[in-house]
Amino acid sequence: TSGVRSMREMFSGCSLLLELDMRSFDTSNVVDMCKMFEGCSSLRMIDLGNFDLSKVTNMKGMFEGCASLKEINFGQLNFLQKCIDTGKMFSGCNNLESIVTYNCPEEIMQMFLDLLAEAGLEDTEVHSFDAQIFTVMICPHCGKEHPDTTKFCPETGKPMPTITWIC
C-alpha cells in the first residue's frame, strides 16, 4: 500500500464489517481518507495507531455512520495541522466512548476536542499519553522477560524475538 494516495471510500458501506486489521497498511503517501469507513455500522473499534497521517488533507466523513463504533486509537494527532477538511468526520458515531492518542501538543488536542464537540460528542473520553518507545524481550517458550540485548533465552537456549511496545 506504499504507493496509495487515496483511501477514499475504501471500506464505505461495509455494514457487516466487525473488525479490521490494518497493521500492514503503509499510509505514508495517502492524502485522501474521505468517507474511508462511512457506513461501517457494525464496526466497534478502529486502531489507526500505526497510520502515518502526516500527508492526509481530507478526512471528511471518515467515520460517518459508524453507529457501533466505541473506540478509536489514533496514535498521534499530527494530521490535524495539515488536514483541510474534517467535516462530518464523526457524524453518526453516537456510541463513541473512547479515543486514544499519544504525544499530542495542547493546541492540537484542543482542535481535536472542538472537532468532537461539533459532532455532539463532548462526553467522549480522550486518553492522551506521553509515549516512550522501548524494547522488551519475552521468551515465547518460557514467558520470562530478558534484557533487550539477549539473543537467546537463558532458560531454554532458544532465539529471542524482538517486540517493540509503545507505552
Cβ proximity of 41 and 13 under 8 Å: no
Tell me the residue type at 44: R
SS3 letters for 89-139?
Answer: CCCCCCCCCEEEEECCCHHHHHHHHHHHHHCCCCCCEEEEECCCEEEEEEC
133 beta partners = 166
pLDDT at 136 over 70: no
Cβ proximity of 106 and 80 under 8 Å: no
> How far apart (Å, rounded) are the C-alpha atoms in residues 99 and 113?
11
Q: Which residue has the cell 537463558?
A: 154
* Residue 13 CB coordination number (10 Å): 14
pLDDT at 2 over 80: yes
Reported as a single tens digit per residue, the pLDDT across 18-68 is 989 898 899 999 999 999 999 999 999 999 988 888 899 999 999 999 999
Reported as a single tens digit per residue, the pLDDT across 74-120 is 877 777 878 889 999 999 999 998 888 877 788 888 888 888 888 88
What cell does 62 get?
471518515
DSSP line for 28-47: TT--B-TTTTTT-TT--EEE
List CB contacts of 124: < 8 A, sequence separation 6 or more: 96, 97, 98, 99, 116
Identify the band that residue 167 occupies on the pLDDT scale cut at 50, 70 and 90: very low
pLDDT at 133 over 80: no
Mean of pLDDT values over 132-152: 68
pLDDT at 4 over 70: yes
Q: What is the predicted pLDDT for the residue at 58? A: 96
Max mean pLDDT among 4-8, 69-73, 75-79, 124-128 falls in 4-8
Q: What is the pTM of this model?
A: 0.74
What cell does 39 get?
457506513
Q: What is the predicted pLDDT for the residue at 144? A: 79
CA dihedral 31, 89, 130, 45 (to 10 degrees): -100
pLDDT at 166 over 50: no
CA 96 remoteness from chain centre: 14
Q: Which residue has the higher pLDDT, 63 or 166?
A: 63
